[in-house]
Chain A
Amino acid sequence: MKFLKLTSIKPSRGMALAAVAVLSALAVGATFSTLFNFRSSGGSLSAYLIGAANGRNHTCFGTACGPTYDPLAGSDTIEVVVRLGNPTNVALKAIIAVYRDGDTFRGCVQKTVDPNAYRDVKLVQLFGLYDTEDFTVKVLTRDFANKVQAGVKGWLTHFTAETFDSYSESGSFSQNRFLHMHETELKEVPLEVLRAGEADKLIALLPDCLPDT
């Protein structure tokens, strides 16, 4: 990685000020405003994240229905992707577990999430969650001393393939699929819930967890 070489920079006032600002920040460190402005009052980290995943092999969601020309609409495909990012300077290990119908364990996988790194898991591909059920996704993070440690943020993305009729300009017909998608954040759960036994339960899954690949 290259660094600023001040001698090669034209000595304009703006550049000089920028250089001074960078050098000041590097030398004495950035300061954090506390007076006359808004204090940082937010942001959160939890070692326990939860998300809701939905399988789909039908064309109606409640009263909202898609096209009915395909009686085997269940042939359309879905995917649910868990995405994790680590904003801290501590490498973490994540246990990603999927449950169905309450406490029915459906699958588990481990992922290492290094500082500033990004990892994702495709739940349907990995665990075969292709049916009409709803699933709960849980993520527990630990450090490399195997202690429960917060530090990962998460998102959950649903992809749904939708088949439709398509006619080209020449009049040829085909049925094609687009991918619809929606996304939300994994929700952070208080540490007390982990302490009340949930952490032990998730860690006990480790022998059944797929290894990080």
Chain B
Amino acid sequence: MGFLDFAKQKPRLLLLGVIVASALAVGFTYTKFFVFPSSGGSLSPYLLGYYDLRTDDCIGAACAGQNEDTQRHADRAGIMTNRTDVAIDLSNPTRTVLRALISVFDDAGTVIACTTRPVESNDTARVFVNNDILIPFLGSNGDGKFGVIKVVTFLEANILTAVQAGVKGWLTHYVSESDDGGHQLIFTRQSQMQQVPVEVLKRNSNAELGTIAELCL
């Protein structure tokens, strides 16, 4: 990387060079007056999501399948919902290396599987609930299961002993459907892992964290 040769630069470039050099020398400052102050943003070490691996062709009143006009053709299978999976994306906007404990519960609230992932600074870690957690953990496919997902983040240097906020999360449900013409498409929907106050995590007792930690490791 070359450096500015001030003797050769036009005045405007010189001014820019001085600004950049000043910022690098003394650090960036943050404006407090005359503009809108930063009023939002949040971090929590406790995120909540859900997964739904049911492969029903009808979701309540909404049904994939054949149009009424062609349902009389019994030899035509219509739309089949094949497989589903749910991706958890965790991104770390901080400069702290974290480790996420990702626990999966059944619909009744019993933890059934867990895994851990490091989430480094500026990194995004992607984990599939069925492919990366349920199948390796249970030894069988998780199709048909549904429930909540909890993510708790710790300092990578002190896993299990230092809860630390610093990760944002998203959920993406993937559903593959195919018709009897051999066409197959993937449909998706996405939402956020929701932040839960750290006080709830403290109140939930160490027994739960211990159970999750034991499963995860």
Contact = CB atoms under 8 A, between A and B. Distances in A.
A207 B50 CA distance: 30
Interface in A103-140: 114-120, 122-126, 130
B166 interface: yes
Contacts of A116: 105, 109-111, 147-148, 150
Interface stretch (A141-149, A166-174, A196-204): A166-174
A29 B208 CA distance: 11
Interface residues of A, number: 73
Q: How large is the interface on B (under 10, 10 to 19, 20 to 34, 35 or more residues)?
A: 35 or more
Given A25-B209, A39-B165, A181-B187, A124 B43 contact: no
B126 to A, nearest CB: 18
B183 interface: yes
Contacts of A54: none
- Determine the main DSSP class of A at the interface with B: mixed
Interface string B30-58: 00000000000111111011101000000
A33 B180 CA distance: 56
Contact of A183 (B147, B173, B179): B173
B25 interface: no
A166 to B, nearest CB: 4
A38 B107 contact: no
B78 to A, nearest CB: 5
A176 B195 contact: no
B62 A29 contact: no
A106 to B, nearest CB: 15
A22 B181 contact: no
Kindly name the residue among B78, B81, B194, B200 whose own CB sees the greatest number of chain A CB atoms within 10 A.
B194
Interface in A170-189: 172, 174-185
Interface in B95-121: 96, 105, 107-111
A99 interface: no
Nearest to B110: A116
B182 A169 contact: yes
Interface in B54-92: 59-70, 73, 76, 78-79, 81
A38 B166 contact: yes
A31 interface: yes
B109 A177 contact: no
A38 B197 contact: no
Contacts of B194: 153, 185
Contacts, number: 249
A92 to B, nearest CB: 12
A43 B160 contact: no
Contact of A114 (B81, B108, B166): B108
Contact of B46 (A31, A43, A83, A89): A43
Kindly name the residue among A22, A124, A185 whose own CB sees the greatest number of chain B CB atoms within 10 A.
A22
Nearest to A184: B191
Contacts of B66: 174-177
Given A88-B203, A125-B60, A176 B79 contact: yes
B150 to A, nearest CB: 7
Given A33-B164, A176-B67, A176-B180, A118 B107 contact: yes
A33 B155 contact: yes
A92 B145 CA distance: 22
- 9 closest pairs, A vs B, by CB? A42-B42, A122-B60, A43-B44, A79-B62, A116-B109, A125-B60, A175-B67, A117-B109, A43-B195
Interface of A: 1, 3-4, 18, 21-22, 24-26, 29-33, 37-45, 70, 75, 77-79, 81, 83, 85-89, 114-120, 122-126, 130, 151, 153, 155, 157, 159-161, 163, 166-169, 172, 174-185
Interface of B: 41-46, 48-50, 52, 59-70, 73, 76, 78-79, 81, 94, 96, 105, 107-111, 146-148, 150, 154-155, 159-166, 173, 175, 177, 179-183, 185, 187-192, 194-198, 200, 202-206, 208-211, 213-214, 217
